[in-house]
Amino acid sequence: KMSAFSSKNDDYSPAFGNKDYTKIYFVSNRKGSSNDRIDERNGLFFADIYSSSLNSNKEWNGSTTSKKPIRLESPINTDNHEGTLCLNQNGTTMFFTTCQSENKKELGCEISISQLKGKLWGSLNKLEVKVDSNTTIGHPTVSSDEKVVIFSADLPSGSGGKDLWMVTKVARTAGQWSEPANLGPAVN
């Protein structure tokens, strides 16, 4: 247990944010979320992405003045749920699940991408995956060369329920990805 940033709430999806393993990002539904409200569907605070860094004394903390992890600001965290995340090897590109909800109704999830610009995360881009507009996708992981993204989705041609799918980056077109391919019966 990492007591420096673990809470009594759900803390999950840790990902190192640099090559020397001194920065970590994770998701939590602890008090102090970006909208500081309880989600009426599950009775928990909305999930947000947090970070913690290892200082020169080898202690995990949020900043030079706080021992608590830092909740990332907008555009990463919003009034909705932000979830499972992964980063590229340099920690400069974050892929993460964003889920919309309104009045106890879930409006679906998608995968957002943000680039680190200096010390701030840039505007969000949606992972453009060719799926039905009502399909929810999430829980991304990205290959080391950032050319393959694997994610979870319940697509019609799957094995049933949420399967793992993969898309590959289309070489000549920025932001365009292949048709989703099911990872097959050995996985799903």
Percent of the chain with pLDDT over 90: 59
Better-predicted residue by pLDDT, 80 or 62: 80
How do residues 31-66 score in pLDDT, each as one tens digit? 988 888 888 878 889 999 999 998 888 888 765 566
Q: Is the dihedral of CA 70, 16, 7, 103 positive or negative?
A: positive
d(CA 122, CA 108): 23
Strand order in the sheet with 148-153: 137-142, 148-153, 163-168, 181-182
Core vs surface per residue 168-184: b (16+ CB within 10 A) or e: ebeeeeeeebeebebee
SS3 assignment, position 94: strand
Place of tokens 């920025």: 174
What is the predicted pLDDT for the residue at 100? 80
Q: What is the pLDDT of residues 93-133, one digit of tens each?
A: 999 999 886 665 667 899 999 999 999 999 999 998 888 77
Per-chain mean pLDDT for the chain: 88
